[in-house]
Amino acid sequence: MNNLVFRLARKLIENNLTISGAESCTGGMVVSELVGFSGISAVLNESYVTYSNESKIKILSVNPVTLQQHGAVSAECVKEMVSGLKKISNADICFAVSGIAGPDGGSIEKPVGTVFFAILFNDEISVWEKLFDGDRNEVRSSSVVEVLTKISNII
């Protein structure tokens, strides 16, 4: 992962692209990886761990109705998370992650390992879902690699 982080951090700095994150199941792991790169302070705006529904509502302005109808682990939720993050950070790139890392919390519709991602860049929002295998830490680590890779590929 170090090589991925190094390449992404260098791209962000070289292109003077600011980045902000909103993380739920990854608990700040994505930004923690970026912070490991010396010089990232030039482009890392801010980051929020919005683990609870209340924090998603309070910090990121996620609509409570969205959470009631679709749940925190949904395309609709991460889209609202990333939109809210853009409003408060005004970063060039905003990302959001929300998922079920396990071992509990899964269902037939959304099994453990289900993770939703959103990236807002150039006024366009990309939202996607992945299903990862493994234990709690493997799901979280896979989610970090997924979002860092996707950001790296779009810039």
Joined tokens for residue 89: 């950070």
pLDDT band of 105, cuts 50, 70, 90 = confident
Q: Residue 106 has what pLDDT?
A: 84
14 vs 87: CA distance, rounded Å? 24
What is the enclosing helix (H) or strand (E) of 116? Answer: strand 114-121
Domains of the chain, with CATH numbers? 2-154 (3.90.950.20)
Q: State pLDDT tens for residues 60-101.
A: 999 999 999 999 999 999 999 999 999 999 999 999 999 999
Eight-state DSSP code of residue 15:
T
pLDDT band of 143, cuts 50, 70, 90 = very high
pLDDT at 1 over 80: no
58 vs 116: CA distance, rounded Å? 20
117 vs 146: CA distance, rounded Å? 9
112 vs 136: CA distance, rounded Å? 9
Contact predicate 26/136, CB 8 Å: no
Instruction: Provide the mean pLDDT of the chain.
Output: 96
pLDDT at 54 over 70: yes
